[in-house]
Chain A
Amino acid sequence: MTDFFFLPGWPLAMPQLFWLGVLLLAATALGELLDRWLRLPRILGYVIAGALLGPEVTGLLTEGAVQGLGPFLDVAMGIVLFELGSRVDLRWLRRNPWLLLTSVLESALAFGAVYAILAVVGTKPLVAAAAATIAVATSPAVVLAVSKEMRAQGQVTERLQLLTALNSVYSFVAFAMLFAWLHLEARGSIGLVAMHPLYLVLGSIALAAVAAVVLLAALERLGPRGDVQTISALGVVVVAVAVAMALKLSVVMTLLGMGILTRALDRNRRFLAVSFGYVGQLFIMMLFALTGAALRLDLAATALAAGLGIAAARALGKAVPVLALAKPSGLSYRKASLVSVGLLPMSGVAVVMAHEAASIWPSFGPQLGAVVLAAVLILELLGPLAVQFALRRAGDAADAE
């Protein structure tokens, strides 16, 4: 033992916590830079900061560290999904059924377009279907983060959020069905085939309902103070995420469902004043920074052209019904085209789905995984720009002037 035992050793063994702080600072700084100089979405800055610090570029944040921060990512995703879900007004679909039709068709056509393109290049049907299912979802995180950042309000914002939440739900349910199909090919037990998607879908919905009821009861008892409401909502969200994971249910489905049901069951409008404010902001930042850190640039680069093809087919599939049903659903063509631009960002959830598919069915494997990842990468970087463009052009954004 030296005399200077109280001094740290050299080189310093910085805990990963240090790099987390650096990540937050870098993300904020880059976000502000993009916003002020280029008027680009801040979340793009978060993604880039994450990528720069992450294992792919500088490696300051090791792969282990990124994985260690996993729980933050789960909570952040949970908050985003819950908040987006709570922006879905099911009664609106009843009053304006054209919207429901738009939603079903834009998902179906996006699926069809991506499936067709993959089928043409000779992908196996099941694998093509898995990729197409992933492509149905619009990124809830990008849509919510950009519309919050721009303090956007209006028809384009509202419809974008509604369609995004719904296509995420469809995508998830369809993916659960595909699981069953995959199992059928792999193992061939009918009982198993029926049970798994049923467990996933019904279990997630049941958990969502319980969480929504608990949250509303808590809000009822805790009174209308804003901060109290926010923190209790946050608490229930975190618990719901944890329970969903423990029960091997879908976090996406559970949290989206919890948001939708909280809104639908809120007869006394206790939930009106809840907003996640700065806390939500922090989690959104971490979500995008960590997504950036996890981006597999090398893999994606190998399949860039194919990824572009998928992205284009998907965009077309989504745009056609949105435009075709614009008038009956009560929107101008101009704004409807902006809605379809806003639907472009592909979901980071897709990455998770692709991994899951690959783990269950190896032949989904590296090649198609790469194509999906490429599409995600393209739309992860271009997606925020698309949403920002749409909201600004629609006059929904607070900085539209």
Chain B
Amino acid sequence: MEPLVESGNAPPTAADTAGETLEFKQSAPLSMGVELELQLVETRGCDLTRAASDLIELVERRPHPGEVKPEITESMIEVATGVHHRYDALAAELAAIRDALGAAAERLNVLVCGGGAHPFQHWPERQIYDRPRFRHLSDLYGYLAKQFTVFGQHIHIGCPHGDDALYLVHALARYVPHFVAFAASSPYSQGTDTQFESARLNAVSAFPLSGRAPFVLRWSEFNEYFAKMRRLGIVESMKDFYWDIRPKPEFGTVEIRVCDTPLTAERAGAIAAYAQTIARYLLIERPVQLTEDLLLTYSYNRFQSCRFAFDGDFIDPVSQKHSSLRDEIAATMERLEPHARELETEEPLAALAAVARENASDARWMRSRYQLTGSLHDLVWQQCRRWRGEV
């Protein structure tokens, strides 16, 4: 995600000299970028296939929008946008990347699709992408590394300062169920209906360093925490934390990692716009005083959203009242209105509000498609068509 690094002009701090601290690079506030992990499937049976290195080689032959990178397996490819301030530019780049990738994939007879997990892939078949870091992960995590063939959308939001980033990390926690529900697209896993809207997050939770960031509010405190973890030999870099939301000091961003890769680039762009608008609301209005108690509801709300999406129960950590996630989202949309106007994200937010109202999650679309044919192979085929905008 190099393009997200806007500038490296943050003044060095005293801690820098210790050599063990993380410098939070400054980036333009509320700038955003998106990373999408996409599935590569073959045209015969729609199973995952090994195509990433050939596809990347082909795409890299000529100038193309965004970035295209290998991921842990050959059946996954990661695309990343540059840094954007406006939703329409982000959406346009996402569409351009999708088209460039699609053209290359056609020449290789490979299909590309969204979705948080492949519905019927068998993980023992997966090929680990041949690079030392991936090999290391595979050795360390064993079957988890291969089961981790799940596909997520990561959203980066720029922050001017590490303290703002930490505020955002914790204040965004309340909205994690929103992101989960909007992007939920992994109802099937290993050939069965998981009953979850997003089964992908269950795979993520198996990793020892998943979950939430520690409750610290100042960047200096975070650095202390990181230094301790490093001294203990638990982590080497920020990459080792698989938190739902984590600061990304080298980019100067906060990274939201709970989203499945949606079935369309449009939905991915809209969710990024939602994140940007919430971030503006949070950073400008500072609506809550952060306390650790606000996180008591975190796991409960997150689970409800993974399992039921918009129908899930949501406990407001401040008022402690129960409501449906659908109502919580509707209320949030109202609060976001002035900020959406300011950022010109009204259109994508209106689209998402309709998705919540009408229960039109990608996972639901997938289930209805599967019901038509009873074939998960055909479902993947339809996902590929949806990614290309044909259905």
Contacts and interface: CB of A to CB of B under 8 A. Distances in A.
Contacts of B375: 224, 269-270, 272-273
A374 to B, nearest CB: 36
A312 B381 CA distance: 42
B190 interface: no
A269 B381 contact: yes
Interface stretch (B100-108, B196-204, B225-233): B100-108
A329 B378 contact: no
A153 B46 contact: no
B45 interface: yes
Given A86-B44, A87-B44, A330 B108 contact: yes
Interface residues of B, number: 28
Contacts of A224: 373-375
Given A224-B375, A395-B53, A395-B130, A272 B125 contact: no
Contact of B106 (A96, A263, A396): A96
A218 to B, nearest CB: 15
A335 B50 CA distance: 14
Contact of A329 (B43, B44, B107, B381): B107
Chain A interface, >50% SS class: loop
A224 to B, nearest CB: 5
B54 interface: yes
Contacts, number: 75
Contact of B107 (A89, A95, A151, A154): A95
A154 B74 contact: yes
Interface in A80-100: 86-87, 89, 91-92, 95-96
Nearest to B51: A154
Contacts of B43: 89, 91-92
Contacts of A62: none
A25 interface: no
Interface string B102-137: 001011110000000000000001011010000000
Contact of A272 (B51, B57, B381): B381
Contacts of B367: none
Interface in B23-64: 42-46, 49-51, 53-54, 57-58
A81 to B, nearest CB: 16
Q: How large is the interface on A (under 10, 10 to 19, 20 to 34, 35 or more residues)?
A: 20 to 34
Nearest to B106: A95
B377 interface: yes
B127 A96 contact: no
Interface in B60-76: 74
Interface string A356-399: 00000000000000000000000000000000000000011010
A47 B89 CA distance: 61
Contact of B45 (A96, A273, A330): A273
Given A89-B109, A395-B130, A330 B125 contact: no
Contacts of B377: 269, 272-273
Contacts of A15: none
Interface of B: 42-46, 49-51, 53-54, 57-58, 74, 104, 106-109, 125, 127-128, 130, 373-375, 377-378, 381
Interface of A: 86-87, 89, 91-92, 95-96, 151, 153-155, 158, 223-224, 263, 268-270, 272-273, 275, 329-332, 335, 395-396, 398, 400-401
Task: Give 5 closest A-B pairs by Cβ, nearest first.
Answer: A272-B377, A330-B107, A92-B109, A154-B50, A153-B50
